[in-house]
Amino acid sequence: MPAIPQPLRPDDDGGADAPVSAALAGYQAGTATAADVLAAMGEARLLVPVVALLTESEVGEHGLRQEKESEMALPKLVGKDGREAVLAFTGAEPMARWRADARPVQATAPQVCQAARHENASAVVVDVAGPVPFVIEGGMLQALATIEEARRDPSAVDRLVESLPGATVARVGESPRRWWSRRRRG
């Protein structure tokens, strides 16, 4: 039986992290960059929505159709071009703005990006219904997902480097080889 993960913040009140909100507001105003937003998100708590999905129903004794079984599902957006995106929200209010019946699951940006990759989604859309929608896609989605994967499997970084032309990884302090040589003075 799968274990229920411990929340990132047991005392979470559902509010957005102030640095993330400020970075998103700056991004919308043109005074902050996408890199500023991603840096603010770092290890900030995001909320991923889960919704009930009816899997089986039956007709009750009064002739009305009623739920018999349901499962919790991770909803995805599908763009006009057919690409899919996983949703994340900075707080409970932006999530309720999108869908009031969604239930929040706490996650970091790298965890959400990893989930998007596992779902074969092309992007993560943060706060799709506002106040400031933000999209993580492409190489940044892949890099953030790799950060999460590398926590359990260090070879994930090597796989990322192999897939990105011109990328290199330096591991300092773990190799017996030296990056430079010392000359002895005689």
153 or 53, which is more confident:
153
Taking CA atoms, 33 is separated from 22, 24, 29, 138, in Å, by 12, 9, 10, 17
Q: What is the mean pLDDT of the chain?
A: 83
Confidence of residue 95 (pLDDT cuts 50, 70, 90): very high
Q: How far apart are CA 181 and CA 145, in angstroms?
A: 36
Q: How far apart are CA 16 and CA 94, in angstroms?
A: 9
Non-local (6+) Cβ contacts of 141 within 8 A are 113, 116, 117, 122, 123, 124
Identify residue 172 by its one-letter amino acid code: V
Q: How far apart are CA 46 and CA 87, in angstroms?
A: 10
- pLDDT average, residue stretch 150-157: 79
Confidence of residue 153 (pLDDT cuts 50, 70, 90): confident
Q: Give the pLDDT score at 41.
A: 94
Sheet holding 46-59, edge to edge: 65-73, 46-59, 103-107
pTM value surpassing 0.85: no
Confidence of residue 178 (pLDDT cuts 50, 70, 90): very low
The verdict on whether omega for the bond into residue 131 sits within 30 degrees of 0, i.e. cis, is yes
Q: How far apart are CA 123 and CA 78, in angstroms?
A: 10
Asked if pLDDT for residue 47 goes beyond 70, the answer is yes
Non-local (6+) Cβ contacts of 182 within 8 A are none
SS (H, E, C) 99-132: CCCCEEEEECHHHHHHHHHHCCCCEEEECCCCCC
